[in-house]
Structure 1
Amino acid sequence: MGRSSSATAAATGSKKRKSKTGAVTLGEVKTLGQELLSSRAHLNHVPTLLALLSPSEPLDLALEALISLQSFFVPLVPSIPSASAAAGDEGSDPELVFRSWLRKRFDELLAALVELTVFPHSDEAIRDLALDALMDFVKLGKDGRFQSAIYHKFLHALIDAADSIDPLLELLGAKYFKYADVCYFTYTSLDKISSTIGNKTNDSEKNDLHSGDDGSEDRDTICVRNIYNTLAHIPALDFQEETVLDMWSTVGLFSKGEKNSSEDSSPTYIKKKLKSKFTKAWVSFLKLPLPLDVYKEVLATIHQNVIPSMSNPAILCDFLTRSYDIGGVISVMALSGLFILMTQHGLEYPKFYDKLYALLTPVVFMAKHRAVFLQLLDACLKSSYIPAYLAAAFAKRLSRLTLSVPPAGAIIIIALIHNLLRRHPSINFLVHWEIDANDSETANKASQHKKVGTDPFNNEETDPAKSGAMRSSLWEIDTLRHHYSPAVSRFVVSLENDLTIRAKTTEMKISDFSSGSYATVFRDEARRRIKQVPLAFYRTTPNCLFQASDFPGWTFRDQLKNVAETTVEENVISTLEISDSSPAKRLRV
């Protein structure tokens, strides 16, 4: 086997480097390797070279020892017995003794390679070479079958690592996760590890982040994070097109008991098995007590990275419905996956709209994932089968939110209400209430349900049917005409159109507004070309300090002789006539 460029450079760099375990130079290590490859008489060099495979040893010595040991064991891999067979080889037969000894040394080599690969402080060159050697032994099994036992040991050490495994996962993703059989056995191992962790945990009250007495995460939580990181680094395979998948081993996905027929080697069969293992691995992982940050990452990507590749996406209904019932940001993030299951996979969720109604709070319009949520909200309210009371409740709830959300949120709400009024003409009465004064019966009914200055809508009610939206109006939208943000006051004019005639109007794309923020509103205003710049706040010169509309119930009158008369309901306060030269006097009431 040829040496890599990094290994050769490191091996030829220093020739007098001493080992920490003994006085061994680089030249002596090379000599030991050459003698080992030349004759069986030098088998005792194997333990000496194995002792150099340690992260604490000098890099050049470890690289040279690794290259020699890999060259020695690669031709012998098919003849190395299994661990159980080697344990039963007893007697005086030299060949059996040699095979048993070879098995033990091979296990020591595998353990050293796993340590060099997983150890966080290993040099990049030794980690790369150790991983390649490990995967070569996985590939060169008996009859070319994938040596899953070796690979499972490696993955167990990877998941149990306490330090960051991102560099190793990047290396695996670039080199080996592109092979179908490597992904297949990775899913198999992760499924087993997740099941083992799940059996150890009690399903009582372990839903939050676990930590030790010193504030550090416990072992199970670290394993959960590593499992998720490994799953996230496996690229999504193309299950749609009839493409030929690359295999790392010569046989592929087949074990000893399976026959490698041409029908079972087809891409369709391989993709079917991959989907099955993918589904089992993710289902086992989602049953674990996930840390909060991992939980959010899973919900944010499950509709793109998990659901399309599952053999039966309906299995996720329990996980997504539990997440949707939690409330708050978790429910917002779970809506994407739940919406896909409802629209594409026939999931029935009776209280879906009640939960969606409860999620409409001011916090949603400042959340990180608000863009996706608002687009899904518009899609969920698109059906023409939604009853009028439900459409009115959502329109009124959104209208009330305009009083407390940022300007960008108010623009999104206007677009959502525009689409609601256009899709459901039966709720257009919310725009303007008209009561015929000549019809006394209608006026009496209206007075019973609605008093002047009061709104029958109950914003605290969680049930849309009991919110009273059908007896209310969208008066909050009218206040946006005087909004402090010009963008909002201009955009609200779009609701003045007759939305009942669909031929004259079109639905607004929520994606054009869902990513809005203070920065986007400011940027849009800064780019606008101003045609007319006001030089003063008032268009005409004011002739009084206050306008009559500023103080309802008060009247201000300006007389020629500096006499001001102010009337407040039934109490009248008048001031004495004052001459220009005399001081002002006040009349006590």
Structure 2
Amino acid sequence: MLTCDTVHVSFILYVILQSEKEKDVVNAVNACSKLFSTLLEKKDLFLGKLPTGEEEEAFIGGLSAEEKYRLFMRQRYSSCVEMLLEHLDHELYSVKESALCCLMKFAEGEGRHPLEDLDWSEHYSFPRELLQGVVDRLLSRTTENSMLISRFQEFLEMEDVRYYVMSSIRENVGKVLAKNKGALIPVYQNNVFSLMSNISIPSQESGLTNFMIKQEAKHDDWKVAKLNEHKRAFEKMWLGFLKYKLPSNMYKKILVILHDSILPHMSKPTLMIDFLTAAYDVGGAISLLALNGLFVLIHQHNLDYPDFYKKLYNLLEPSVFHVKYRARFFHLANLFLSSSHLPLYLVAAFAKRLARLALTAPPTALLIVLPFICNLIRRHPSCRVLVHKPSTQDESVEDPYLMEEEDPAQCRALESSLWEIKTLQSHYHPDVAKAAGSINTPLSGLEDDISELLEKTTYELMERDLKQTRKTVPLEFETATQLLKGGGDVLGQHFCLG
């Protein structure tokens, strides 16, 4: 039923939406949600493109009273949507959350009851313009929106919402970063990363079942219902973002999730080669993290990376024992050096460099490095020459190994020996001394499992040592039990209390 009450309520709600009181605004948002969702469902809003400017008067003149009402309520709806979009930038989270949920409810209503004439060549409807407005506000350049984006993740579980969000992100990133000529916008880029990292694609097309809007006609032909289309959109979204300059801390965040949250969902993972090789050349922790992605491309997609082992060799620096990605690095280095077809000089160079670095490494790192070196020797028995080095009286005491040499082929590792491990047999920590001592005995064919050692911390070592039960040590003297007695009563023989 069409009454003046609806008109008056819409006016009142619009005014309250501009209130400065949190409770009033949240209540107004909830009321708007109920009012306009009902109008959308009953199809009481004007359908078609809204007239603007001079066209409006002429257009309204030819409408009936009922059509004028529908047009008026459509205009109020549009004003309400604009106000709600502005509230996504509100300083109070409760207001932002209410506005977000209301807008997504409107999106569902518009999807089921379109307000614009459909493109009948496709017969598919989705409120892309409204969703684009939501994404544009989430990707603020000045406000950190990680909490609101986390709340938005609920809607990303819907296949059609996720697909059009990916398209909206790509469009937004293209406009913003291109306009700024690739300059860093840390807050904006963090918001983009937060939103994109919340997007995951099902592994099989049968997993595409949860849609906000079910297309009645030809749903199976809708590109949003096809997994390959989702992968293409996902791929374009990430490539469009990664082609711009990023803050160094964001490089690390992306590389941490790249191998298991990004590459598996791309239709052509090899398109990430340029990004990964550039990150691998940066050095430091970023290079360590790039190893994961390169490992996937090399082993699963036959990537040919020139001088890969030379770069891996140069990543072995003292800092590698102290970064929080140490376990991941040694796990991958172990995989890369597992091939028995690697040249002898290369394996010897890695073993020697690790041994030299071990001289200043902490005990937790040594418990990884020493079994690591032993495993290299097991895989390549010819490297035993580094342990059983024949010597003569006239041999120079100077080590021929060139630590500063970047090329493992030129470092002269095979001319040297692993004297560093012999030195570590006198280490203050008994576990390290024991591990170093294993090199003195013939190594068994079974490799040491270093996986359990990768995550071991200094705290865990100390806790284990403190909990150990110590045996009573035999002494060469008799323990005194009283001040002047015991120990053969030596004190009583020479002293007395007067």
TM over 0.5: yes
- Structure 1: distance between partners of 2:25 and 2:288: 55
Q: Is the 8 A contact 1:74 1:137 kept in 2?
A: no
- Structure 1: distance between partners of 2:204 and 2:160: 18
- Structure 1: distance between partners of 2:430 and 2:367: 11
| Counterpart position of 2:390 | 434
- Structure 1: distance between partners of 2:49 and 2:356: 71
| Counterpart position of 1:525 | 465
| Counterpart position of 1:413 | 369
161 and 456 in structure 1: CA distance in 2 versus 1, 3 angstrom threshold: closer
Name the stretch that deviates more: 324-333 or 282-291. 282-291
Residue 197 of structure 1 and its aligned partner are, at CA, apart by 2.6
- Structure 1: distance between partners of 2:139 and 2:128: 16
528 and 496 in structure 1: CA distance in 2 versus 1, 3 angstrom threshold: farther
Q: Which of 298, 302, 324 matches 1:346?
A: 302
- Structure 1: distance between partners of 2:31 and 2:6: 17
- Structure 2: distance between partners of 1:262 and 1:64: 36
Aligned to 2:165, the other structure's residue is in SS state helix
Q: Is the 8 A contact 2:167 2:233 kept in 1?
A: yes
Query: Match for 1:131: what amino acid?
Result: L
**Structure 1 residue 200 and structure 2 residue 179: aligned?**
yes
Alignment TM-score, normalising by the size of structure 1: 0.72
Q: Is the 8 A contact 2:37 2:105 kept in 1?
A: no
Gaps of 5+ in 1: 1-36, 211-219, 253-259, 438-442, 537-589
- Structure 2: distance between partners of 1:64 and 1:202: 41
- Structure 1: distance between partners of 2:267 and 2:246: 23
Query: Match for 1:50: what amino acid?
Result: Y
Q: Is the 8 A contact 1:114 1:157 kept in 2?
A: yes
Query: Match for 2:15: what amino acid?
Result: A
Q: Which of 246, 250, 264 matches 1:294?
A: 250
- Structure 1: distance between partners of 2:204 and 2:321: 37
- Structure 2: distance between partners of 1:55 and 1:518: 56
Q: Is the 8 A contact 1:198 1:287 kept in 2?
A: no
How many residue pairs get aligned? The number is 458
- Structure 2: distance between partners of 1:526 and 1:242: 54
Q: Which of 164, 181, 197 matches 2:160?
A: 181
Query: Match for 1:107: what amino acid?
Result: S
452 and 533 in structure 1: CA distance in 2 versus 1, 3 angstrom threshold: farther
Residues 424-468 of structure 1 show CA distances to partners (whole Å, capped at 9, x for unaligned) of: 112111111125x7xxxxx9xxx7xxx421111000100000000
423 and 85 in structure 1: CA distance in 2 versus 1, 3 angstrom threshold: farther
What fraction of aligned residue pairs are identical, expressed as a percent?
31
- Structure 1: distance between partners of 2:372 and 2:25: 68
Alignment TM-score, normalising by the size of structure 2: 0.84
Q: Is the 8 A contact 2:252 2:286 kept in 1?
A: yes
Residues 20-70 of structure 1 show CA distances to partners (whole Å, capped at 9, x for unaligned) of: xxxxxxxxxxxxxxxxx7504762542332111135145246515741564
230 and 480 in structure 1: CA distance in 2 versus 1, 3 angstrom threshold: same
Residues 498-552 of structure 1 show CA distances to partners (whole Å, capped at 9, x for unaligned) of: 23xxxx431122221122332232223223343464769xxxxxxxxxxxxxxxx
Residues 205-231 of structure 1 show CA distances to partners (whole Å, capped at 9, x for unaligned) of: x5xxx5xxxxxxxxx332111101111
**Structure 1 residue 246 and structure 2 residue 210: aligned?**
yes
| Counterpart position of 1:368 | 324
**Structure 1 residue 146 and structure 2 residue 86: aligned?**
no
**Structure 1 residue 516 and structure 2 residue 456: aligned?**
yes
- Structure 2: distance between partners of 1:242 and 1:94: 48
Query: Match for 1:39: what amino acid?
Result: T
The structure with more radius of gyration: 1
Equivalent residues in 2 for 1:372-383 (5 A)? 372-383=328-339
- Structure 2: distance between partners of 1:487 and 1:177: 50
| Counterpart position of 1:132 | 101
Greater helix share, structure number: 2
Q: Which of 228, 236, 241 matches 2:193?
A: 228
- Structure 1: distance between partners of 2:137 and 2:203: 30
